[in-house]
Chain A
Amino acid sequence: MLKKLTSTSAVAALSLSVLAAGVQAGETVDAVMDKGYIQCGVNTSLAGFSNATGGEWAGLDVDLCRAVAAAMLGDSEAVRFTALTANQRFTALQSGEVDILSRNTTWTLTRDTALGLNFAGVNYYDGQGFMVRKDLGVSSAKELSGAAICVEPGTTTELNLADYFRAQGMEFEPVVIENTSEVTAAFFAGRCDVYTTDASGLASARNVSAENPADYMILPEIISKEPLGPAVRHGDDEFMDIVRWTLNAMIEAEEYGITSENVDDMRDNSSNPGVQRLLGTTPGLGEALGIDEDWAYNIISQVGNYGESYETNVTELLGLERGINALWTDGGLMYAQPVR
């Protein structure tokens, strides 16, 4: 591990000095261009984000990898997906088994530094919340003292729960169940008073699994911040730039109203200079990134803008509205740095 980290930081220093000398692609970019595909690490199964039960990988996190492939190689199919568990994911990225980790990974300081990752942005804002039956007569998480709480073991959900209750000086009785389907079934069967997971998970469980969704409510307290985004290895800033601006281009395209359907029309007819720059009618951005000038056009025509990807994967499948993941112009947090 130590050896790996020192060698990656050596590569980082090296590529910094190379960058100072002039634009030159980093080793991940070179490797991707050589082999002609991107290796992408995704969740083994998380409905709406990455799921292969239809035979093809689909989801919001999957679309991001396809978009990067479209930008770099002009083909959104030039991706090889690797299903990763929570434990494997960082090693897989560090060891080069995958180039991008797009696996609902929370952006935190330690992961960004000590683990040798670089987060390229946030493609989904989430946070942990609580859901209760309305007839419980509870209106705030502060009234949950002594409740039986259904929780999935694993990442940070269980820890956040314990932290929150300790901070509030309350007791709770955890009902720990391994799998999303089983834990939601247990909650709706009344085996516990409260179900806690990320707010997106709560809402989709209510929409998909509850017999009468109106009987349940999500409490206003969100007890953690979970900005989820794609990560790459330390040491190849060009590659991180490409991933970051791919995500920004998807969000910016939604701001401009460019969709996979009207992208050809917009490229030929739009007089908006921002659109012309984004779609490569006015060249320059592709060259700055070291990729084809059609990069954003390829992303939008083959994968779609952020709103389209959200709509097909998250809204239609899980019944989730945009919420805080709406564009900043609609009161959400999705705010792309200017693509210019």
Chain B
Amino acid sequence: MTENTNRARPISGPVLNRSLRWMRDNLFSSPINTVITLLCVYIIWNVLDVIVSWAVLNASFGAAKEACEAATGACWAYVHDMWRFLLFGTFPADQHWRPLLAMVMLTSGMLLSMNRRFWSPWLAVAWIVGFIAVYFVLRGGVLGLSPVRTAQWGGLTLTLVLAVVGIAFAAPLALLLALGRRSEMPLIKVVCIVVIEVFRGVPLISVLFMASVMFPLFLPEGVSIDVLLRAQIGIIIFQAAYLAEVFRGGMQAIPKGQYEAADSLGLNYWQKTFKIILPQALRLVIPPTMSTFISLFKDTSLVVIIGLFDLLAATRAAVNDPMWRQQFIEAYVFIALIYFCFCFFMSRYSAYLDNDLKKSTSH
């Protein structure tokens, strides 16, 4: 009630009054609240003080390592020296525009796909063309680009490739697994259940380990499959198994009446699934789906155990550089910010999409 009258008032004078009143109502309403508020302010102040003085006030921002000797805070020269390795790994230095282009293509592809205006079957075609383009930009060997082996791909580029390809292939596979698990054909049902339960029953590390250490022993001698491809397939199947259960949850939440209504309209299985069930089911599971994507993005860092130089592995290699042994905190802070930017963006997008879809359907 008071809120409404407040809103009507001009903002100029009473803003101070209003915020004071808000503080009194919410922060200092009782002696206990007052004590807790003051304690929190004290803690926040101290933590912020440490962080800001380390990262900004006492830090050295110069490009030369010598400048760091005097500074008591962070030494950002480290990031200045190492950012190329952290972003591109061991990719040949004169070709760095190629991983950069690949990253721009992957991120802009993601951004475009987030806009509902572009949602159509053509988007899938565009992605497939895009993946082929990214692959050849990185691998080279065509149009006069020098070939670069997958073992040389690294840094943020590799993390993005693993994550985006992982998401793009895990989602459709998960959909098939989820439909298969609810299928009435026993063979398909059993196969899907086995795949889902086996891959959900083991940790991702062991999947990667099998792919990189055990799998080659079963191949005939002299035949080897690229380790990046093996890891990528492992990640796709693992995440698809999790995502399949998320999708299945959505389908089970659809009231039985919807299925019966579709049947009574005479729709066949595929029409029913794609026109009636999935649009509703997928909308229900946007938050858990996005959680799975976020965890997939972060789980790509587990490829460190099979010797691929993703963002985290590149950082770990960089902090072992004897030149910069004292600067490992800066390195980890830097990549933590990169991870946070991507994950936070994904989580905000999920919230936006959820709201947007609710608005557009509840008019």
Contact = CB atoms under 8 A, between A and B. Distances in A.
Nearest to A57: B90
Give the size range of A's interface with the partner: 35 or more
Nearest to B215: A95
Interface centre among A88, A181, A317 (most CB of B within 10 A): A181
B187 interface: no
B151 A81 contact: yes
Contacts of B316: 44-45, 179
Would you call the interface of chain A mostly helix, strand, loop, or mixed? Answer: mixed
B93 A88 contact: no
Contact of B217 (A1, A45, A47, A317): A1
B321 A47 contact: yes
Nearest to B90: A52
A85 interface: yes
A233 B151 CA distance: 22
Contacts of A31: 222
Given A4-B217, A182-B328, A53 B85 contact: yes
Nearest to A83: B307
Contacts of A54: 85
B16 interface: no
B145 interface: no
Given A1-B217, A47-B321, A95-B219, A55 B328 contact: no
B302 to A, nearest CB: 12
A88 B215 CA distance: 12
Contacts of B219: 95
A83 B310 CA distance: 12
Given A7-B221, A94-B217, A208 B212 contact: no
Contacts of B92: 55
Nearest to A92: B216
Interface in B269-310: 305-309
Contacts, number: 102
A338 B227 CA distance: 40
A91 interface: yes
Interface centre among B89, B92, B216, B305 (most CB of A within 10 A): B216
B127 to A, nearest CB: 30
Contacts of B107: none
A60 to B, nearest CB: 14
A179 B313 CA distance: 12
A184 B325 contact: yes
B69 to A, nearest CB: 11
B308 to A, nearest CB: 8
Contacts of B89: 52
Given A44-B313, A55-B90, 4 more contacts: A53-B320, A88-B213, A91-B214, A179-B316
26 contacts: A1-B217, A44-B307, A45-B316, A47-B320, A52-B317, A53-B82, A53-B317, A53-B318, A53-B321, A54-B85, A55-B84, A56-B90, A81-B151, A82-B227, A83-B309, A85-B307, A87-B305, A91-B214, A91-B217, A95-B221, A96-B216, A179-B320, A181-B325, A182-B319, A182-B328, A204-B322
Interface of B: 82, 84-85, 89-90, 92-93, 149, 151, 209, 212-214, 216-217, 219, 221-222, 224, 227, 305-309, 313, 316-322, 325-326, 328
Interface of A: 1, 4, 7, 31, 44-48, 51-57, 80-85, 87-88, 91-92, 94-97, 179-182, 184-185, 204-205, 208-209, 317-318
Q: Which 8 A-B pairs have CB atoms at the shortest separation, nearest pair first?
A: A45-B317, A95-B216, A181-B319, A83-B307, A181-B328, A208-B322, A52-B90, A47-B322
